[in-house]
Structures are given as structure tokens and as C-alpha cells.
Amino acid sequence: MKLGYTGFNAGPLAEPRSIADLLKCAEDAGFESAWTGEHVVVIDPQEPPSPVPPEFPFIDTVAALSFAAGVTSKLKLGSGIILLAQRNPVVLAKELTSIDVLSGGRLIFGVGVGYIPREFEAIGVPYEERGARVDEHIEVIRTLWTQDKPAFDGSFTKFDRIQQKPLPAQKPHPPIVIGGMSPAGYQRAIRHGDGWYGYGQKEDAVAESIEGLKRAAREAGRAGRFDELEISVTPRGPIDRDRLRRYEDLGVHRLNLVPTLAGEGPLVDRARRFIEETAAALL
């Protein structure tokens, strides 16, 4: 089982010294990857379905991954996830390529659709278009990452007679991980993904999602496609070795863990203790 350290760009520890300290700690402890979270804006005052209060900080995913690339040497660096419908895909392809090149090929491109209408309203993207935009934006980015003469003629993006160099360090491109725990999310993972990511899931919910992915593969006439996916989960609740084995038995390849900050002392010390104790117990 691979372990990821999740949400390093968000919350009270999202400041340069703490991010660098904890990423190095995770790398030294044997974690395989580090992942961001994303909300470009947060609703004020908080109202459902927004998950955090308005004062909760999020450092931009691209900036955070770039910073992480400079203070680590082995950790894979994942966007967990980028709300792709809220981004310009041509600009984002360039930004992500740059991270992959500067990190020596360590980027994981995690993609999500989003679920908070007012966030889309603030950015000026119609909420009802988010799924279609994500599907097309993935194709735009893959085109720019892989084609010698990139050209695209879509509903939201059109280009030809351009170049965007350099290409990513990873070939054919960084892995694309699709987040989402709905039939549409499962279908998107089967169509576009190298992996799938479920957030906040207990074992029974993971089992349901895996069945949903397999069903989507069968319905697409690509039953073997599920076996090509790397399954990542951020579990709900504490993890011990028994729970880790249960996730393994379900077919999960990676657990992305949010640090528990319980206890006494400075927050960064509590997070460091979580990383070290978790690695000692599970790796």
C-alpha cells in the first residue's frame, strides 16, 4: 500500500516553513506522495455544501505543487484535486508540464468536477456545464501533452498551428486521476483516467465505488479497463494496520491521509508526529 500525505496546501499549516518541514518529513518517513486540496474561493458565510469556513486558507494548487517540487526530491506530487472546469486548459497544461519537468517527472494530475454552485458563479463558469467542460479540458490537455502538431476543435477550446514546449517529462504524460463518487465520475474515470480517487470513504463506500467503476467499464464495453486503474482513497477515520489490510483487500492501491492534529504542542509538531508514527505503524 502506498501512503500519500494530503492537504498540505490548506489550513493552518499552509505557510512556507511548515509546508517544507512536513513535506520533507513525509519524504524521509517513506510516504510515496503528497497531495493538494482545492477551492479557488470559499463561500462567506459558510453554507451547505461548502465544507470549510470562509477564513480557511487554500494556497493555489499550481503554486503549492511548484513549491513542493523545490523542497522535495522523491515524493510524487498530486493535485487532489484540481477543479478543472474552473480552469483554462491551455494555460493549465503549460503550468502542469512545467511542474512535471522541474520535478523530474513526479506530477500526478488529479481532476475533479466540483459541487458548490456559488464557487462556479464567482468564477463565471456555468455550473451546469462543469461535466462537459471537464471531459473536454482533459482531452485538450492530453492533446497538448502528446501531439507533435497539436490541434483541437471543441465546444469550449479551439486551436491549431501552435506549439507548447517543453512536453512533460513523463511519457506519454503524467498519470490522470479522476475524482468523483457518482456514476458520472466512474464513467469519466473509465473514459479518461489512469486512476480514480475517492475522498472521505469508509470501507463499505469504497466497495460500492469499486463496483460502480466496474459497472461503468462493462457498460462502456471495456470490462478490462477497471484493472488498468490505480485506486486512491482518503479514508474516513483513523487508520491502523487492520483497516489498511481491509482497504488492500478491496483493491485500493494508495491511501491519502489527512494528518490528525490532536494532542499538545505546536501544530507543526503534531503533524510531524502523525507522519512519523503513521509511517512506523503502516509502512
Is residue 73 over pLDDT 90? yes
pLDDT band at 262 (very low <50, low <70, confident <90, very high): confident
Question: Which pLDDT does position 231 carry in this prediction?
Answer: 98
Sign of the CA dihedral with 260 first, then 33, 96, and 13 last: positive
% the chain with pLDDT above 90: 98
Q: Report the mean per-residue pLDDT for the chain.
A: 97
Question: Which pLDDT does position 159 carry in this prediction?
Answer: 98
pLDDT tens by residue, 212-260? 999 999 999 999 999 999 999 999 999 999 999 999 999 999 999 999 9
What the chain holds in terms of domains, given with CATH numbers, is 2-282 (3.20.20.30)
What residues contact 63, with CB distance under 8 A and at least 6 apart? none
Question: Which pLDDT does position 166 carry in this prediction?
Answer: 97
Question: Which pLDDT does position 43 carry in this prediction?
Answer: 97
pLDDT tens by residue, 160-219? 999 999 999 999 999 999 999 999 999 999 999 999 999 999 999 999 999 999 999 999
